[in-house]
């Protein structure tokens, strides 16, 4: 029985069919593009950190008789401090702080989180490990944005509420702790063992095709 050309071609073709063959360099190109985006996002987050914490919030002390903004008090603060700060700041100064929270105070955690989630995505191949390292970054964004609202709410009250101040202070402390934990998570991706960089499902797929 005569064979068709397709049958003859399949008989003499070695290896996987063309559609199953991996595209050369595709994985490398993806990582290269991801690295470029990561560099840009990291530079942007570093700039926003400097602009928000070292420049803007630092200059806000000129509007508060030298008192530090609550965002910068790593160890937290009490009701008495918030009352003194509110007395030292007029409505315009408090409005300016609220505006900072809504602009740079919102952009920084979002862009930082984007950069760090991408860093972990590229550095940790295993899904369970990615989620472990992602968790402090995600929590940092939630706490940071919540802290902005809590501080503005505490300063907006004529007599700052004890519970509101305690919440804002707790969020401030947690914010800095989670930022440090996020930085450690990103650093861990750089020094991960090679076996943790490989994706298990991809390795299994390669083994089956091989």
Task: List pLDDT tens digits, range 144-165.
Answer: 999 999 999 999 998 888 999 9
Task: List pLDDT tens digits, range 65-87.
Answer: 999 999 999 999 999 999 999 99
60 contacts 97 by C-beta, under 8 angstroms? yes
Residue 41: the pLDDT is: 93
CA dihedral (124, 129, 131, 135) positive or negative: negative
Distance CA 95, CA 152 (A): 9
89 contacts 57 by C-beta, under 8 angstroms? no
Residue 63: pLDDT above 60?
yes
Distance CA 65, CA 129 (A): 47
How many percent of the chain have pLDDT more than 90? 61
pLDDT band at 32 (very low <50, low <70, confident <90, very high): confident
Residue 1: pLDDT above 70?
no
Neighbouring CB atoms inside 10 A of 185's CB total: 22
């Amino acid at each position: 029985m005569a064979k068709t050309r397709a049958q003859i071609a399949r008989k003499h073709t070695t290896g996987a069919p063309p559609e199953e063959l991996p595209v050369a360099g595709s994985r490398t190109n993806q990582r290269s593009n991801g690295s470029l985006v990561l560099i840009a996002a990291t530079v942007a987050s570093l700039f926003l950190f400097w602009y928000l914490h070292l420049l803007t919030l630092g200059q806000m002390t000129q509007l508060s008789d030298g008192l530090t903004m609550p965002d910068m008090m790593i160890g937290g603060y009490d009701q008495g401090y918030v009352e003194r700060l509110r007395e030292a700041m007029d409505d315009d100064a408090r409005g300016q702080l609220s505006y900072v929270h809504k602009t740079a105070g919102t952009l920084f955690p979002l862009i930082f989180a984007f950069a760090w989630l991408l860093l972990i995505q590229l550095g940790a191949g295993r899904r369970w490990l990615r989620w472990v390292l992602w968790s402090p970054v995600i929590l940092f964004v939630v706490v940071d944005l919540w802290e902005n609202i809590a501080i503005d709410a505490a300063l907006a009250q004529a007599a700052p509420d004890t519970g509101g101040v305690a919440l804002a202070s707790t969020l401030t402390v947690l914010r800095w702790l989670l930022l440090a934990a996020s930085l450690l998570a990103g650093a861990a991706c750089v020094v991960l063992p090679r076996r943790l960089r490989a994706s298990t499902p991809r390795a299994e797929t390669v083994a089956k095709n091989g």
